[in-house]
Amino acid sequence: MSGIDDFRKETRAWLEANCPASMRGAMPDGELVWGGREVEFKSEDQRLWFERMRDKGWFCPDWPTEYGGGGLSPEEHAVLEAEMRRLKCRPPQINLGIWMLGPVILEFGSEEQKRALLTPMARGEMRWCQGFSEPNAGSDLASLKTTARDAGDHFIVDGTKIWTSYGDKSDWMYALVRTDATVQKQKGISLIALDMRSPGVSVAPIDLISGKSSFCQVFFDGVSVPKGQLIGPLNGGWTLAKSLLQHERKAMSKFGEFSLPTHFDLLELLPEYVPAGSRSPADIALRARATACAMDEHAYSLTVQRMGEEARAGMDVSGLMAIMKLVHTEQERDKFEILLDALGHRALGWEGDEFSAGELALTRAWLMSFTQTIAGGASEIQLNVIAKRVLGLPEGK
Amino acid sequence: MSLIYSEEQRMLADTAREFLAAKSPVAAQRRLRDERATNGFDPALWREIVDLGWTGIPFPEAVGGLEFGYKALGAVFEEMGRTLCASPMFSVVVSGALLQLAGTPEQQTAWLPALIAGDKRVALALDEGPRHDPLATTLSARREGSGYRLDGSKVFVVDGIGADAWLLAARTEGQAGDREGVSLFLVSAGTAGLSMSPQSLIDSRNHARLRLDSVLVPASALLGAEGQGFGMLDQALDRGRACLAAEMLGAAEQLFATTLDYLKTRVQFDAPIGSFQALQHRAARCYTDLCLARSAVMAALAAFDDPASDATTCGRLASLAKWKAGETAAHVSNEAVQMHGGIGVTDELDVGLFLKRIRVAQACLGDGDFHCQRYAALTELPA
Ligand SMILES: Cc1cc2nc3c(=O)[nH]c(=O)nc-3n(C[C@H](O)[C@H](O)[C@H](O)COP(=O)(O)OP(=O)(O)OC[C@H]3O[C@@H](n4cnc5c(N)ncnc54)[C@H](O)[C@@H]3O)c2cc1C
């Protein structure tokens, strides 16, 4: 017990001394630092914070030190996260590879892969994208068609991936590919890592309704991938993919905690547009909806806390884990609906100085929020998972 | 503040579950209803509950309590919810809490130990209209001689029939809606001018209408300072609200488990109805809400055990819990009826008993709209 208390004290002191003041508090849009070969810093403080955390191994606090991680125990990791929240430290970098692929390589990768892939990831030098979805394989991911043909010491990859977030900015991709088309669809899939600079890879950005372009379609035309970049067993990719998607859902339900740029505080914003004392029926109805929404958010944050406690007490939290992504993303959606109604036309501005920066950001964030209930397994798929895996309801015919 | 039960609290819950399954199954509540039990509960069962010590859980040892805390108490309420166990536990909690918070030392000595020992029952007479609204108190209390004269009536008084005394909210000044001017009185059974009649609700429990016609009470019947009773009252109510939330959570979880069984076994179109996605998704949503409701209930209970939580924090969490558990339990019970089809609307099935109790518990001490409003009022908003 006193060990963990010491760790808390040291960590708090270190963060207080090393996290620059400008790296604390909510993060405005566009201030995220993405780790990778071409990491960009908008300020000296960003660089400092990035380098200090990197040198501690705290991009990956719970990975073993031999692969560049911080080597923290689960308790220490929880303490670090709590202390960072307390000081409102921004994440020093965002790297989807660390959250999703990292744990899978740690569990299933070869020693060589761990050294070759985990170490640069832990140093923030390798930015990853996820090549799962295809034009005809979304929720039904296992029907994917991109092929990897055996060509001796390497594979030849042909096909296309779509909705690849930051496909145009990533250094590497982890992709699900078909390595056997003659068996049941889940049994002929493999997981590979590929360098996006490989000849034959081309990338076309896609515009979103929010005006952003954060995802792409990626084409593979006879791309050569060394066999050493096969992760896990040949045709064993489906199991790894399922584990990876769980890490993705966990990461997505954490976005709120990191207070990424989408965070708008409903009860704080509302009085600006719906005067506190107003008795107009529409305002009264709006306030009631807003309160109910804020209460549900409160219940959700208590559930996050309870899940953590239950996990630490060794209880089964699989049921709670299964609801988190669904609940969080739908609450965000509901919140934007209320904000939209509260701001009226002021939430419908596209650009220009008729609108405040906050209003324009809100509009874009609302449009972006639609992606959350689709990406990483749509809400309907989450409900299927809860019904079948958690509640044990029978499969349909 | 921990949101999970400790080892001891879990053990208590397990014992309670075993005890209630044996001594107070849902079938026993049905029998109470069919036999029109006078007080809506079984006195022999009540004696056993008192002997188990449940009535003493939230109270200090000095007055005969166990000082085991609200989370432990919530665990018991949850289990009572599972079998719909009818007992005067709720009144012990709210009346006891109010005596503890606002009672004079004499009032406490006279009533608290007897309450905990199950020798006396004190009911809280609060609402005057169909919807919970403690600020709307208008029952009049006028100074007369060295005491007070009370006139008015109270409705839906939980455990009112057969009580040995009533704790009353009355108005000594101001008007409905004012915080100031609400005073609390303890009035014993048999006081002249007091009359009472049962109100039969869908849950077949003990509810009463209380009439006060020139009831004269001495000044020693007052709890706390004249006109300043509302704060204490609300704090006591919050303890009751958290317990009702725990009860509704237990009832809803039990009902949901029964419904899931039905979804897995009832066959139509040559398939279990639980294989139909339209029902699967609705069941998954019930589950999701139950998970959120549990977190809110645990937080409210834990707040009362946490010395660092002030009355506002406790009130806000109690409102969150009552709101979330109430809305969830109502939704789950509606879905349970619908998913059972025709048999779901028959009295033969227990589903209806759960639906009815949940609705009464939801209305008691504030429904969803009430607690939504209250949560907003207790949440400090920047101007
Ligand atoms: C912003 C964003 C970023 C993304 N990033 C990536 C990425 O980096 N890499 C990647 O590989 N993919 C990514 N995706 C893709 C994402 O995983 C898919 O969009 C998602 O799995 C849904 O697939 P789909 O778009 O083909 O929709 P479909 O599967 O065609 O679904 C259409 C609708 O049908 C419903 N539906 C489908 N099947 C069922 C069923 N069995 N029961 C009930 N309803 C069903 C869905 O819920 C949905 O409402 C991203 C998506 C978004 C929006």
Q: What is the pLDDT of residues B227-253, one digit of tens each?
A: 999 999 999 999 999 999 999 999 999
For CATH 1.20.140.10, the residue range(s) in chain A are 240-390
Mean pLDDT within B27-55: 95
pLDDT on residue A271: 87
Which of the following CATH numbers is that of domain A128-231: 3.30.420.10, 2.40.110.10, 2.40.50.180, 3.50.7.10?
2.40.110.10
- Give the DSSP H/E element, type plus range, for residue B125: strand B122-125
Residues of B with CB under 8 A from a CB of A: 2-4, 260, 263-264, 270-272, 274-277, 279-281, 283-285, 287-288, 291-296, 298-299, 320, 323-324, 369, 372-373, 375-376, 379, 381-383
- Separation of CA A240 and ligand 1 centre (Å): 19
- Separation of CA A139 and ligand 1 centre (Å): 5
Angstrom distance (rounded) from CA B202 to CA B280: 30
Q: Which domains are delineated in chain B? A: 7-116 (1.10.540.10), 122-223 (2.40.110.10), 230-378 (1.20.140.10)
Query: Token digits for A360?
Result: 């324009």
Q: Is a pLDDT exceeding 70 seen at residue A262?
A: no
Q: What is the CATH number of domain A3-105?
A: 1.10.540
pLDDT on residue A397: 74
Q: Is the pLDDT higher at A99 or at B191? A: B191
Residues of B in contact with A303 (CB under 8 A): 291-292, 294-295
pLDDT on residue A310: 94
Q: What is the pLDDT of residues A7-66, one digit of tens each?
A: 999 999 999 999 999 999 877 667 888 889 889 999 999 999 999 999 999 999 999 999
CB neighbours of A387 closer than 8 A, spacing ≥ 6? Answer: A393, B277, B280, B281, B283, B284
- Separation of CA B107 and ligand 1 centre (Å): 65
Interface check for A298 against chain B (CB to CB < 8 A): the answer is yes
Interface check for A198 against chain B (CB to CB < 8 A): the answer is no
Residues of A in contact with B324 (CB under 8 A): 295-296, 299
- Cβ neighbour number for residue A45 with a 10 Å cutoff: 15
Give me the residue from B284, B298, B381 closest to A383, CB to CB: B284
Residues A299, B376: C-beta atoms closer than 8 Å: no
Average pLDDT score, chain A: 92
Give me the residue from A292, A299, A384 closest to B295, CB to CB: A299
What are A157's strand-pairing partners? Answer: A148, A223
Angstrom distance (rounded) from CA B151 to CA B171: 10
Q: Is A248 annotated as catalytic? A: yes
Q: Which of B353, B171, B129, B159 minimizes the C-alpha distance to B240?
A: B159
pLDDT on residue A258: 46
Residues of A in contact with B288 (CB under 8 A): 323, 326-327, 386
Angstrom distance (rounded) from CA B352 to CA B83: 13
Q: What is the pLDDT of residues A83-101, one digit of tens each?
A: 998 898 989 998 888 989 9
Angstrom distance (rounded) from CA A126 to CA A34: 10
Rounded-to-5 percentages of helix, strand, coil across chain A: 50, 15, 35
pLDDT on residue B12: 97
- Cβ neighbour number for residue A357 with a 10 Å cutoff: 10
- A139 Cα nearest atom in ligand 1: 29
Gap from A53 CA to chain B (nearest CA, Å): 30
Mean pLDDT within B287-303: 98
For CATH 2.40.110.10, the residue range(s) in chain A are 128-231
- Give the DSSP H/E element, type plus range, for residue A182: none
Query: Token digits for B302?
Result: 């834990």
Class of domain A240-390: mainly alpha
Lowest mean pLDDT of A242-256, A279-293, B20-34, B259-273, name the range: A242-256
Q: What is the pLDDT of residues A210-258, one digit of tens each?
A: 888 889 999 999 999 999 999 999 999 999 999 998 887 777 666 544 4
SS3 A378: coil
Give me the residue from A295, A309, A386 closest to B320, CB to CB: A295
% pLDDT > 70, chain A: 96
Interface test with A, best of B2, B3, B71 (most A CBs within 10 A): B3
pTM to 2 decimal places:
0.91
Q: Which pLDDT band holds residue B280 (cuts at 50, 70, 90)?
A: very high
Query: Token digits for A166?
Result: 């930051």
Mean pLDDT within B311-320: 97
SS3 A195: strand
Interface check for A312 against chain B (CB to CB < 8 A): the answer is no
SS3 B289: helix
Q: One of A134, A248, A297, A359 is an active-site residue; which one? A: A248
For CATH 1.10.540, the residue range(s) in chain A are 3-105
- What separation, in Å, do the N-terminal and C-terminal C-alpha atoms of chain A show? 53
- Separation of CA A378 and ligand 1 centre (Å): 6
Q: What is the ipTM, given to two decimal places?
A: 0.95
Bridging pattern class, strands A201-206 and A189-195: unpaired
Q: Which pLDDT band holds residue A277 (cuts at 50, 70, 90)?
A: confident
Bridging pattern class, strands B182-188 and B194-198: unpaired
Pocket test for ligand 1, best of A369, A374, A397 (most atoms within 8 A of CB): A374
Count of residues making up chain A: 397
Any residues with Cβ below 6 Å from ligand 1, and which?
Answer: A 129-133, 138-139, 163-165, 215, 371, 374-375, 377-378, 380-381, 384
The torsion angle over the Cα atoms of residues B305, B311, B313 and B318, rounded to 10 degrees, is: 70
Mean pLDDT within B339-357: 97
Contact predicate B5/B11, CB 8 Å: no
- Separation of CA A133 and ligand 1 centre (Å): 8
